[in-house]
Every structure is written in structure tokens, then in C-alpha cells.
């Protein structure tokens, strides 16, 4: 945080909105972030082409170890995986990273590829939900989820509006992976999922794609989105016979402190139920689609919940889109599961 404030003050000295932006950055709750490049290189802009080359190089360098860890935690081998869901909104590759992983890491050549590129921070929840759907449609299948978010490669030195400056102090880089098993394992037994979009909010979180790359655009109304989304979460839980305000664990996207505080208020829960999301925000910043996977890793690292403990997973992103899931903690259950602790890696 200290480095962020120092570099922001130097890079945008004299700008009238700087003082407000620095206060907002201080209030994000982020104490530390990890960047894929040294910060001096991050602050320069070598051009869109070079940044995308860095994205591809760093993704290929960092994904394999994380994938291996996730497979080992799930007690599976690469050839046991039937589909790979790869999510990222911070770089572009075609063919997708899924093809490179299949050719490089020993996955079967008939492994299904499901790249998700335009759901932003909601993509972590979407990946879990699409993995659940795949396993429901293909009983006994196993799905690997990989999230690679190198948000620092989207930094725009000339963007000095308050929203851009706040984003520069909020987002971090991370790579994460997890496995959803069709049978067996220990973890969150996924039972129900849903999607919801708040009408007419498409321009609240968006990218402007220009010669210099992705320009992140954030509307000031975004932090207030938990008021309309909390009833949606309540309805999802109620349709499953559960009370969204009385669950045993919550893995929620940490978009910022107000998102978590408002959701606690509107669900009628203590803010500490989001402790895993708070920890991710504090230690890594907003790592986009990787947040819910890191929060899940923290749940696994805690003392295991009691069998049957109920929980909610929710990712929020552009659209404004919510991707939500309900599940129970289970061990060796023969059902669709998030098996293993998942692999998580944030590069310092």
C-alpha cells in the first residue's frame, strides 16, 4: 500500500483528483498486492502488442505449477480431466490457453475446452457453475478450472480519472486453479447454481478497447449493487430450502470493502462471515475471477467444516452479472464436487 500511494502521487502529481483518489485507495483495505512484473516495468506502457506478449509468456510460465497442485490436491492426473475451463479478462490468446495446456501437460486430446473471456470478476463463479453443469450432464466427469488474471497489464499511465486511479490501487495479479470432481473427493458438494443480470447496467463495468489496450471503466454506482443482488441470493437459497442469512460458509467476490459490508447488511449477517474474502482483498487485492478460488482455498486451509455444512459461492462482474452457487461440505460423497483444495498462486 505504501508503495502504491508513493507511485500514484509521483505519477499523477498535480492532478486535481489525486487527493481524493489517494484517500479512496487507502480505504480499499488492500495492504499488499502481487504483480507479475517489477512495479517500475508495470508503470511503463510498451504497447498493446508487447503487453499481450507478456500476458501469454507469463501465463504459460505460471499456470502449469498451479494446475499440478490442483490435480494433486484432487488426487487426479491430467488424463482424468474431461474438460478445462480457462478464465481471464486481462489478456487474449487464440488458440486459448486450454489448447496449450492440453498439448503441454498430458491432458487427453479429447478434453473439452471451455474458455471464458468476457465475464470479468464474475468468471470465477461462472467457471464453478459451468463445471457443475458439465458434471451433471456427464456423470463421473472431472473438470479443471484455471484462472489467470494479470490485472497489472491493463494499467494505463495516462488514465487519471478517479475510477482509474482507484482501480490502479485495488487490482492485483494471481493465478488459481481448482478441480470439480464428478464423484468422490473432499470439498464443497455443489447442489444448485444460478445467474442473474441487473437490468440496464451494461456500462457500469466495462472495457474500452483502444490502441493502447484495455481501458477499465468503473461507474460510481457499482458499489451499491449489493442492494438489488442480495434479494436474488435470498431467493436462490430459499428455493433450495435454505436461509441465505444463516449458512455456515460464504465465498464471495471481494470487489472492494463496500461490496462486502453492504452484502453483510442486506443479508443480515456479521461481516466476519466473509473472512476468507476479506483476507484475499487484504493480502492480494481484487484478483478478479481468482477471488472465489482463493477464498475457497482459505476455507480448505481452515479446520474442515462439519459434514453437511451449508455454503454460498458468489461472483460479481460486468453486466452487472452475478454467478451464484449453493453447496454442502462433504467428504467422499458420490456426487458433483469441488474435490481437493485447489491450487493457488500469486506471484510476488
pLDDT of 218 reads 81
**Degrees, nearest 5: CA angle 161-165-169:** 170
Asked if 121 is an active-site residue, the reply is yes
pLDDT per residue over 300-333, tens digit each? 999 888 999 999 999 999 999 999 999 999 987 4
CA–CA distance, 258 with 27 (Å, rounded to integer): 10
CA–CA distance, 273 with 250 (Å, rounded to integer): 6
CA–CA distance, 114 with 86 (Å, rounded to integer): 6
End-to-end CA distance of the chain: 14
The average pLDDT across 331-336 equals 54
Question: Which pTM does this prediction carry?
Answer: 0.92
Q: Which pLDDT band, with edges at 50, 70 and 90, does 171 fall under?
A: very high
Name the least confident of 84-93, 110-119, 218-227. Answer: 218-227
User: CB–CB of 111/146 below 8 Å?
Assistant: no
Walk me through the domains of the chain, giving residue ranges and CATH numbers: 2-181 (3.40.47.10), 187-331 (3.40.47.10)
The average pLDDT across 253-267 equals 93
The average pLDDT across 269-279 equals 96
Instruction: Write down the catalytic residue from 89, 121, 135, 154.
Output: 121
pLDDT of 345 reads 33
The average pLDDT across 60-88 equals 97
Q: How many CB atoms lie within 10 A of CB 61?
A: 12
The percentage of residues in the chain with a pLDDT greater than 70, rounded to a whole number, is 95
pLDDT of 282 reads 95
User: CB–CB of 318/205 below 8 Å?
Assistant: yes
Amino acid at each position: 500500500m505504501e508503495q502504491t500511494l508513493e507511485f500514484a502521487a509521483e505519477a499523477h502529481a498535480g492532478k486535481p483528483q489525486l487527493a481524493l483518489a489517494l484517500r479512496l485507495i487507502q480505504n480499499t483495505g488492500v495492504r499488499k498486492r502481487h504483480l507479475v512484473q517489477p512495479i517500475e516495468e508495470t508503470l511503463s506502457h510498451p504497447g498493446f502488442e508487447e503487453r499481450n506478449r507478456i500476458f501469454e509468456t507469463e501465463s504459460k510460465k505460471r499456470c502449469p505449477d498451479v494446475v499440478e497442485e490442483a490435480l494433486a490436491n484432487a488426487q487426479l492426473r491430467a488424463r482424468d480431466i474431461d474438460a478445462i475451463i480457462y478464465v481471464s479478462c486481462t489478456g487474449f490468446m487464440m488458440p486459448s490457453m486450454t489448447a496449450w495446456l492440453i498439448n503441454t501437460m498430458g491432458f487427453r486430446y479429447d478434453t473439452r475446452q471451455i474458455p471464458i473471456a468476457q465475464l470479468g470478476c464474475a468468471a470465477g463463479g461462472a467457471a464453478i457453475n459451468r463445471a457443475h453443469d458439465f458434471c451433471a450432464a456427464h456423470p463421473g466427469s472431472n473438470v479443471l478450472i484455471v484462472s489467470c488474471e494479470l490485472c497489472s497489464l491493463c494499467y494505463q499511465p495516462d488514465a487519471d480519472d478517479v475510477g482509474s486511479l482507484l482501480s490502479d490501487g485495488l487490482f492485483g495479479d494471481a493465478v488459481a486453479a481448482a478441480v470439480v470432481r464428478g464423484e468422490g473427493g473432499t470439498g464443497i458438494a455443489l447442489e444448485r447454481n444460478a445467474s442473474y443480470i441487473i437490468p440496464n447496467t451494461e456500462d457500469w463495468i466495462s472495457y474500452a478497447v483502444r490502441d493502447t489496450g484495455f481501458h477499465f471503466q468503473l461507474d460510481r454506482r457499482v458499489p451499491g449493487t449489493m442492494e438489488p443482488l442480495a434479494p436474488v441470493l435470498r431467493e436462490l437459497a430459499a428455493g433450495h430450502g435454505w436461509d441465505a442469512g444463516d449458512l455456515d460458509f460464504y465465498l464471495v467476490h471481494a470487489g472492494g470493502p463496500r461490496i462486502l459490508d453492504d452484502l453483510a447488511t442486506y443479508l443480515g449477517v456479521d461481516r466476519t462471515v466473509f473472512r476468507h474474502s476479506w483476507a484475499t482483498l487484504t493480502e492480494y487485492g481484487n484478483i478478479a475471477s481468482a477471488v472465489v478460488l482463493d477464498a475457497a482455498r482459505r476455507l480448505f486451509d481452515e479446520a474442515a467444516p462439519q459434514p453437511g455444512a451449508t455454503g454460498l459461492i458468489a461472483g460479481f462482474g460486468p453486466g452487472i452479472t452475478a454467478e451464484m452457487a449453493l453447496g454442502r461440505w462433504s467428504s467422499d460423497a458420490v456426487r458433483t464436487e469441488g474435490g481437493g483444495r485447489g491450487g493457488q498462486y500469486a506471484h510476488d
